[in-house]
Amino acid sequence: MADLKIVGISKSFSPVPAVKDLYLDIASGEFVVLLGPSGAGKTTTLRLVAGLEQPDAGQIWINGRDVTQVAPALRDVTFVFQQYSLYPHLSVYDNLAFPLRSPLRKTSEDDIRTKVTAIARMLRMEDKLNNPATKLSGGQMQRVAIGRALVRNPALYLMDEPLSSLDAKLRDDLRLELKRIQQDTGATMLYVTHDQIEALTLATRIGVLDHGDLVQLGTPQQVYEDPATVAVASRLGSPRINLLPRAALPHLAVPDSVATIGVRPEHVLVTDDRSDGGQAVALIQRVERLSDQYLLHLRLQGSEHTLIASVHPGQAGHPGNKVHFHISHSLYFDANGQRVRH
């Protein structure tokens, strides 16, 4: 495997900047996920690393080599796309073997058979090798697409939302499979997605992109617990973070520069009685059940603002009930959405 170093990369599709002065270091064996909405610059970043786009400025280094002007075929990277991109007229075996039959690879058929068999075993598809690609399920086709990247054992794997077109169960299954494969092989992966669950469960580190800017980079725990901006805070967490103007929570003592208060639903502690520690009063508007937890949609007393609290079944209450609540932890942001430390 190899490391990746992105140094001051910028790319615009006139007049819109897609990636702005991006710096990113990925160590060998890391699984880095770039998270962001459509238009954040995720796919453009992958295409720049792969050589499918040329940067307006900056450099890309793979395994200590400047590859900024190197042709895609000579960068020793593989690219897994959102769509399966299999050859429908070929069998699973021949789809997996295809990259090894390139004139650039010069691999013998015996070595090809050994590598394809090993990858098929890793993907748990040994019994499908003779099947036509068109006879596979969606999840199996995506496994073949991933396997076609793995069989080459490249320096770097690039993955562009490879699970997003699958149904929920297949997506969950393949997410676990992909993490297992990465851990077993020690592969270096740069993966992009808009799905926070994929980012939180797959990544060694998460980079949050917003309009071409890398606004924060850290472990999943760091990015979730210590977001640098409102955009980062709202990108991670299910249910989403409560973002309220400071006037909606007047009982909190906050720094003067604070414009917005962020409160995770799990940090809203609900009680029936102020003597139990409740600091403020709200009315239950709606109760939403999610598996073993309930979400209370609370309208704050004397305000039109609402607050979502995550509670256990015994605390759920009913619509119309008045409750007290206490906020155990909150995040502060200024008028520009930047974090205010206190």
Angstrom distance (rounded) from CA 152 to CA 116: 10
DSSP strand pairing (189-193 vs 31-35)? parallel
Encode pLDDT of 85-142 as tens digits.
788 889 999 999 998 888 877 789 999 999 999 888 887 889 999 999 888 888 788 8
pLDDT of residue 122: 80
Phi, psi of 80, rounded to the nearest 5 degrees = -105, 120
Angstrom distance (rounded) from CA 243 to CA 324: 19
Contact 31, 76 (CB under 8 A): no
The residue that leads in pLDDT, 138 or 78, is: 78
Residue 277 pLDDT > 70 = no
Angstrom distance (rounded) from CA 216 to CA 36: 11
Phi, psi of 215, rounded to the nearest 5 degrees = -90, -20
Exposure string of 303-319, with b = 16+ CB inside 10 Å and e = fewer, is beebbbbbbeeebbbee
Residue 160 pLDDT > 60 = yes
Q: Is the dihedral of CA 130, 79, 5, 193 positive or negative?
A: negative
pLDDT of residue 191: 96
Residue 49 pLDDT > 90 = yes
Q: What size, in residues, is the chain?
A: 342
Residue 274 pLDDT > 60 = no
User: What mean pLDDT is predicted for residues 203-225?
Assistant: 95
Domains of the chain plus CATH, in order, are: 4-235 (3.40.50.300), 260-333 (2.40.50.140)
Per the structure block, which two tokens stand in for 315?
């605390």
pLDDT of residue 155: 87
Encode pLDDT of 322-338 as tens digits.
999 999 999 999 999 99
Among residues 213, 210, 212, 234, which one has the least CA distance to residue 224? 234
pLDDT of residue 251: 85
- The percent of residues in the chain predicted with pLDDT above 90, rounded, is 60
Residue 278 pLDDT > 60 = no
State the SS3 of the chain.
CCCEEEEEEEEEECCEEEEEEEEEEECCCCEEEEECCCCCCHHHHHHHHHCCCCCCEEEEEECCEECCCCCHHHCCEEEECCCCCCCCCCEHHHHHHHHHHCCCCCCCHHHHHHHHHHHHHHCCCHHHCCCEHHHCCHHHHHHHHHHHHHCCCCCEEEEECCCCCCCHHHHHHHHHHHHHHHHHHCCCEEEEECCHHHHHHHCCEEEEEECCEEEEEECHHHHHHCCCEHHHHHHCCCCCCEEEEHHHCCCCCCCCCCCEEEECHHHEEEECCHHHCCCEEEEEEEEEEECCEEEEEEEECCCCCEEEEEECHHHCCCCCCEEEEEECCCEEECCCCEECCC
User: What mean pLDDT is predicted for residues 308-324?
Assistant: 86
Among residues 75, 55, 53, which one has the least CA distance to residue 6? 55
pLDDT of residue 268: 93
Among residues 194, 185, 195, 191, which one has the least CA distance to residue 205? 191
Report the Cα 266 to chain-centroid distance in Å.
21
Name, of 154-168, 222-236, 260-274, the range with top average pLDDT. Answer: 222-236
Residue 166 pLDDT > 60 = yes
